[in-house]
Amino acid sequence: MASHRKPRSRPGLIRTSQAVGITTAALTSVALLSQTAGAAPAEPKPSLEEVQKKVDDLYRQAGVATQKYNAAKERTDRQRGEVDGLLDQVAERTDKVNEARRELGSLAAAQYRHGGTSETAHLLLADDPQEMFDQRQLMNRLSDRQKRAVDDYEALQREASAERGKAQKSLETLTESQADLRESKRAVQAKLSEARELLSKLTAEEKARLAAIEREKEAAAKRKAEELARQQAEEERRRQAEEEARQEQEEQEQDSGSGSDSGSGSGSDSGSGTDTSYAAKAEKVIAFAEAQIGKPYVWGATGPDSYDCSGLTQDAWQAAGISLPRTTWDQVKVGTTVKTADAQPGDLVFFYDDISHVGIYIGDGKMIHAPKPGTNVRVESIYYMPIHSVVRPA
């Protein structure tokens, strides 16, 4: 008969189950906490100032890469011209070698036709002994001519071989220059792509704030330019006052008869003549640069529809009859370095420690330059970027 007693509970088992559940939960929590603690913290979003600095640095690095590209392209173009010239010389030498070879073949054939029997046989078989003697004299002359032809042929072969060697070396150098050109191009494109990616991540509000920061930077640069213009104007007024005082003193000395006419005033015109000549060139430079305002910056461009910074300065000074090198690194070596306070219209203003940018000074602390990708040729304060030096090209 079945028992109706209730089964006795097993308190120990219940307590054990509860303890196991609590322990599992605790271990899960610890594991989650450990994973959270071990995970790398998310990088904080950079501030707008940091983004602006990063973008400016990338544009400057792109500027450096652009100058490397310009230098590599200049080398490539020059080397290609040399290779073309050498290949033309090789072709010319080869034609001469082939011509000498044909002449040798003709001489060899003639010798074969007349040199197969002895002189006695020729004499006995000849219808006219005098004719035989004439033919023998001709063959002697032919041998001398053949010797000269062989010597000429060997000399031409040596020359052609030397020209081919030069062409081969020049081709190898051209290949290296082309590799440098491709590498510089990739570097420019990589820097510009990185800058565009940074800017693309900004919200509309952040872009507006970044534009405001840029305007503040431009305003600060403009104030510095105005201060330079004021200092230069004061210096000019002082110089004019000194010149007027000097002229007045000379006139008084002449009126009193105390001055000597010999050599009077002879030392003051040579400098002004040089200044006048430079001013005339600078006027052409600035007129050309002003005509380019609004054209887009394109790295590696030398006009006429677009420019990079050194392409613009090169073309502008070419308009004044002065040939400048292609890169900023070479342009900075041409002419005389002057103080920023002594800058005159037409001078070249170089920027950054790596000399990766250049503009044309137009006076009042301003310049015309091709700034960077996404902008156009424009007028701007020379204090917009850190100045490296000012150079007077002519």
Indicate which residue of 4, 114, 309, 388 is catalytic. Answer: 309
The rounded distance, in Å, linking the Cα atoms of 271 and 242 is 16
In what helix (H) or strand (E) does residue 366 lie, and over which residues does it extend? strand 366-369
Indicate which residue of 4, 114, 122, 357 is catalytic. Answer: 357
173-181, Cβ contacts within 8 angstroms, sequence gap of 24 or more:
173/79, 174/76, 174/79, 174/80, 174/83, 177/72, 177/75, 177/76, 177/79, 178/76, 180/68, 180/72, 180/75, 180/76, 181/69, 181/72, 181/73, 181/76
Q: Is 122 a catalytic residue?
A: no
The rounded distance, in Å, linking the Cα atoms of 223 and 230 is 11
Backbone angles phi, psi at 68, to 5 degrees: -65, -40
Spatial contact of 312 and 363, defined as CB atoms under 8 Å apart? no
Q: Is 309 a catalytic residue?
A: yes
Angle at the Cα of 52 (from 214 to 289), degrees rounded to 5?
A: 55
Q: Is 4 a catalytic residue?
A: no
- Between strands 336-338 and 378-381, the pairing is unpaired
> How is residue 259 written in tokens?
């001055």
Indicate which residue of 4, 114, 369, 388 is catalytic. Answer: 369
> How is residue 41 written in tokens?
């913290």
How many other CB atoms are found less than 10 A from the CB of residue 14? 10
Residues with active-site annotation:
309, 357, 369
